[in-house]
Amino acid sequence: VIFTDEWGGGGRARCRAWDPLDWGANAIYDIVDNKLEFRSHYKMPAPQLETENCVAHNGSLIPIPEKDIFVQAWYQGGISVMDFTDSTNPKEIAFFDRGPIDTELLVMGGYWSAYYYDGFIYGTEISRGLDVFKLSPSQYLSEKEIFEASKALPLYGPKVFNPQQQIPLGWSSGN
């Protein structure tokens, strides 16, 4: 289970090298005996400038079998893809960062949300528009895992995505 902390409401620089790593971050828990047990915090690892508003924001799971992978927006911190399969040791496995909108002034902007759907990551950037990304095989994700994620289907109902709902997914036995 991931809880995100939008420390300061997203309008300030909160991913600087000296900011607390557990503020404006994700708190990761396991469910043990029907109770939440804290395991770790995750904050995108690249320190940002004073002119970049940055804090954990909207994201979604990437449905890779047997793994817990989450893509997330961090305003001007960019987009981070986190593997939290080992809930005590989450790590960034991919990222995209456009850099600051303005290098001299803090201007509100960056990625409001990053959602995975049907093989692509959609990043809605407040001041610069929509970006669409596709995962590439790496030391963290194989071509087969990326393919399987793109074939995940709702266990019931139409193939739709709504990040505000938690619809169980599955994979066809033919893959």
Could you read off the pLDDT of 73-124 as tens digits, one per residue? 999 999 999 999 999 999 999 999 989 999 999 999 999 999 999 899 999 9
CB atoms within 10 A of CB 109: 18
Confidence at residue 173, expressed as pLDDT on a 0 to 100 scale: 64
| Predicted model pTM | 0.91
Report the share of the chain in percent with pLDDT over 90. Answer: 80
Residues 6+ apart with CB under 8 A from 60: 70, 71, 114, 115, 116, 161, 163
Checking if the pLDDT of 172 tops 90, the result is: no
Q: pLDDT digits over 57-70, tens only?
A: 999 999 999 999 99
Helix (H, G, I), strand (E, B) or coil at 7: helix
Q: What is the full DSSP assignment across 43-84?
A: --SS---TTS-B---BEEEE--TT--EEEEE-BTT-EEEEE-
Spatial separation of the C-alpha atoms in residues 175 and 63, rounded to whole Å = 14
Selection from 109, 130, 29, 111 nearest residue 72 by Cα: 111
Phi, psi of 149, rounded to the nearest 5 degrees: -60, -40
CA dist 30 → 21, 130, 131, 164, 170 (Å): 20, 33, 32, 21, 21
Checking if the pLDDT of 162 tops 90, the result is: no
Tell me the mean pLDDT in the region 20-32.
95
Beta strand 2-4 with 111-117 is unpaired
The residue whose two tokens read 């949300």 is 113
Q: pLDDT digits over 37-62, tens only?
A: 999 999 999 999 999 999 999 999 99
Higher pLDDT, 171 or 28: 28
Spatial separation of the C-alpha atoms in residues 152 and 158, rounded to whole Å = 12
Higher pLDDT, 161 or 131: 131
Confidence at residue 77, expressed as pLDDT on a 0 to 100 scale: 96
Spatial separation of the C-alpha atoms in residues 59 and 73, rounded to whole Å = 6
Confidence band of 175 (pLDDT split at 50, 70, 90): very low
Confidence at residue 157, expressed as pLDDT on a 0 to 100 scale: 80
In the chain, where the domains are located: 2-153
Selection from 92, 86, 60, 87 nearest residue 73 by Cα: 60
* Lowest model confidence (mean pLDDT) among 91-95, 130-134, 156-160: 156-160
Q: For residue 169, how far is the Cα from the chain centroid?
A: 18
